[in-house]
């Protein structure tokens, strides 16, 4: 892959980048999104002149500006003029004024997924897909590869310690978080493909579960013949996909990870330890003990996927184990936000019933039977709220007290008759105390005020509830 040193004014004279010889100035619409922000930095480090715009101003845009990337708050046709390529996120529609201006001017346009596809075709790419855990798994893998001296290029949406992980690396390896939303991951050309698990999700993009499974089959089918497919051996839908690809003559080999005896990489003897989990890993290289700083059985599964990839890459098992042990987690993935008046505060991205259940189980494991588990939940999108209403009620019963805010619409328009009060109604009549407070700030404040020393407050959702929590904690600690 042809890469050059970062240059604010564009590629060095005579140098061609991976996006084509005609591309020097790249303009990114929706640059404040997690995946877009990381891609902007990656392209900037490759030497492209990068500009961008976003409807929301805030810390991400401010940080991009500090990095020498010109970004604008709001959308205007003038912003794209002079660009050689416009890159847009999945949330940006063709009606956006900058996209309309690019169309009128004949400026080339590509989705974020298409650009990642181009970059992935130029390197030995490990694409990490799955309904749950792909951000953490990709982040663990990037940490392990860096520790082993592979210097990977990284394209991951999640942040660690308030900073993006996406960066250009000097090595031939690329680690990509492969998003199934809008079938974006079908643009990638991986050498190694990882599927953490598959469950019904994003049904605003897929007709049904079977359609989603077919997309994962197609994704795996794009894996290079000399590569490897690494799947969750305990997950039924992942196994369905494995059975579809295992018999393909001349295709990539298939490895599995999980907790069952038939898995190629297996975890046994799980034990909760202070702040995390210890376990024994068994694979072709032998048996060895490992320990994670991040809690939960689901994170052990994420680590097993990384160990399987590390084996294919011939990374030193001792170095990998140390990297996994040192990893403190991704921002908003069971992120400890400290204590306030004796109340432990956790911020988490969970927005699907399975993720919520895993987060609450991990929290109970840290509580040691002391205090109450108080939850603030901000449902994400109307279609997901409608689809999983009963499942949200079922998993949220694991909490002692629940405060539910209004649905965060994200890319959607409201659906008639669908609001988050249906979750609270479903919880009434059970042992769980449930409250509906549509305003997110008020829900957080009320939940925190209801806590006493020794309680745990867990805030969950993929919308703006994490930013609202940050604001509340800053105010209360002032």
What is the CATH T-level fold of the domain 25-112, as seen in this structure? Rossmann fold (3.40.50)
| pLDDT at 3 (0 to 100) | 34
Name the residue among 74, 4, 75 with its Cα closest to residue 44.
4
**Can you identify the CATH homologous superfamily of domain 335-477?**
Mur ligase, C-terminal domain (3.90.190.20)
CATH 3.40.1190.10 for domain 123-326, yes or no, is yes
Beta-bridge partners for 273 = 276
Q: Are 293 and 328 a contacting pair, CB within 8 Å? A: yes
Relative orientation angle of helices 59-66 and 34-46, to the nearest 10 degrees: 0
| pLDDT at 248 (0 to 100) | 66
Task: Show the CA angle centred on residue 312, arms to residues 309 and 317, nearest 5°.
Answer: 75
Beta-bridge partners for 66 = none
**Tally of helices (H runs) and strands (E runs) in the chain:** 15, 22
In angstroms, the CA 321 to CA 230 distance is 19
In angstroms, the CA 211 to CA 203 distance is 9
Helix (H) or strand (E) segment spanning residue 85: strand 85-88
Taking residue 141's Cβ as centre, other Cβ atoms within 10 Å add up to 32
- Pick out the chain residues at pLDDT < 70: 1-16, 162, 247-250
Question: Please, where are the H alpha helices in 266-388?
Answer: 297-312, 317-326, 353-367, 382-387
| pLDDT at 206 (0 to 100) | 87
The region, left, alpha or beta by phi > 0 then psi within -120 to 50, assigned to residue 399 is beta
| pLDDT at 14 (0 to 100) | 42
**Residue 131 carries which DSSP code?**
S
| pLDDT at 166 (0 to 100) | 77
Question: Looking at the chain, which residues constitute the CATH 3.40.1190.10 domain(s)?
Answer: 123-326
| pLDDT at 444 (0 to 100) | 98
Question: Looking at the chain, which residues constitute the CATH 3.90.190.20 domain(s)?
Answer: 335-477
**Residue 408 carries which DSSP code?**
B
Name the burial class of residue 128, with classes exposed (0-12), middle (13-18) and buried (19+) by CB atoms within 10 angstroms of its CB: buried
Output b/e per residue, 316-340; b: 16+ Cβ within 10 A: ebeebbebbeebebbbbbbbebeeb
Distance of CA 370 to the CA centre of its chain: 31
Question: Looking at the chain, which residues constitute the CATH 3.40.50.720 domain(s)?
Answer: 25-112
- How confident is the model over 259-281, as pLDDT tens digits? 999 999 999 999 988 878 999 99
């Amino acid at each position: 892959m042809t890469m050059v040193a970062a240059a604010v004014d564009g590629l060095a004279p005579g140098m061609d980048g991976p996006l084509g010889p005609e591309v020097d100035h790249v303009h990114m619409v929706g640059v404040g999104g997690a995946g877009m922000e990381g891609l902007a930095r990656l392209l900037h480090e490759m030497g492209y002149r990068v500009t961008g715009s976003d409807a929301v101003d805030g810390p991400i845009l401010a940080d991009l500006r500090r990095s020498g990337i010109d970004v604008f708050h709001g959308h205007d046709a003038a912003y794209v003029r002079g660009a050689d390529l416009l890159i847009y996120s999945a949330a940006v529609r063709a009606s956006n004024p900058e996209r309309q201006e690019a169309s009128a001017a004949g400026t080339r346009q590509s989705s974020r997924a298409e650009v990642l596809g181009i970059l992935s075709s130029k390197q030995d790419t490990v694409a990490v897909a799955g309904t749950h855990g792909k951000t953490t798994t990709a982040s663990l893998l990037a940490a392990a590869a860096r520790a082993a001296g592979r210097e990977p290029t990284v394209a991951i949406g999640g942040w660690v310690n308030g900073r993006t992980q996406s960066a250009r690396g000097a090595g031939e390896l690329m680690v990509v978080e492969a998003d199934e939303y809008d079938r974006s991951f079908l643009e990638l050309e991986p050498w190694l493909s990882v599927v953490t698990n598959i469950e019904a999700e994003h049904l605003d993009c897929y007709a049904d579960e079977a359609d989603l499974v077919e997309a994962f089959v197609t994704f795996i089918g794009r894996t290079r013949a000399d590569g490897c497919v690494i799947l969750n051996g305990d997950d039924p839908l992942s196994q369905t996909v494995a059975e579809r690809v295992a018999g393909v003559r001349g295709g990539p080999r298939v490895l599995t990870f999980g907790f069952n005896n038939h898995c190629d990489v297996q975890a046994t003897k799980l034990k909760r330890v202070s702040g995390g989990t210890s376990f024994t890993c068994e694979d072709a290289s032998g048996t060895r003990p490992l320990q994670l700083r991040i809690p939960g059985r689901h994170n052990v599964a994420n680590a097993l996927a990384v160990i399987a990839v590390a084996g294919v890459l011939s990374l030193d098992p001792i170095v990998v184990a140390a990297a996994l042990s040192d990893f403190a987690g991704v921002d908003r993935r069971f992120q400890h936000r400290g204590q306030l008046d004796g109340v432990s505060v956790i911020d988490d991205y969970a927005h699907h019933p399975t993720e919520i259940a895993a987060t609450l189980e991990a929290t109970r494991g840290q509580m040691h039977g002391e205090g109450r588990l108080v939850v603030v939940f901000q449902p994400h999108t109307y279609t997901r709220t409608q689809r999983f209403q009963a499942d949200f009620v079922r998993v949220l019963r694991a909490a002692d007290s629940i405060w539910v805010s209004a649905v965060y619409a994200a890319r959607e328009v409201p659906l008639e008759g669908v609001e988050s009060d249906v979750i609270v109604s479903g919880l009434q009549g059970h042992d769980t105390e449930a409250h509906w407070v549509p305003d997110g700030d008020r829900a957080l404040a009320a939940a925190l005020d209801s806590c006493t020393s020794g309680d745990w407050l867990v805030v969950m959702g993929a919308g703006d509830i994490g930013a609202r929590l940050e604001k509340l904690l800053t105010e209360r600690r002032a």
